[in-house]
């Protein structure tokens, strides 16, 4: 069982590492989405420059779950600890 993390406990560095690992899985399933995933990653990184980390992570949680569900056509992979 994967331990559920609180969004407020995730650092920007942890998000970047996990996002890269998720991108590897997503692009492995559907290489055509590489540009879209990179554009999304850049957008989130820009948000980190303007807003508090926890606010960006809450935005990312909602948006990335939709994105991965659409791309993988399967249960979303939750970067915050659940499936």
Backbone region of residue 45 per phi and psi (left: phi > 0; alpha: psi in -120 to 50; beta: other values): alpha
Model confidence pLDDT, tens digit, residues 54-83 = 999 999 888 877 766 665 554 444 555 544
78: exposed, middle or buried (Cβ count in 10 Å: 0-12, 13-18, 19+): middle
Between CA 27 and CA 13 the distance in angstroms is 21
Between CA 17 and CA 74 the distance in angstroms is 22
Q: Whole-model pTM?
A: 0.71
Model confidence pLDDT, tens digit, residues 3-21 = 666 888 889 999 999 889 9
């Amino acid at each position: 069982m994967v331990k559920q993390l609180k969004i407020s406990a995730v650092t920007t560095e942890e998000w970047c590492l996990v996002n890269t690992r998720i991108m590897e899985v997503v692009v492995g399933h559907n290489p055509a989405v590489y540009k879209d995933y990179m554009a999304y990653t850049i957008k989130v990184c820009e948000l980190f420059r303007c807003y508090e980390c926890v606010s960006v992570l809450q935005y990312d949680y909602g948006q990335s779950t939709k994105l991965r569900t659409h791309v993988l056509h399967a249960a979303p992979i939750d970067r915050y600890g659940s499936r």
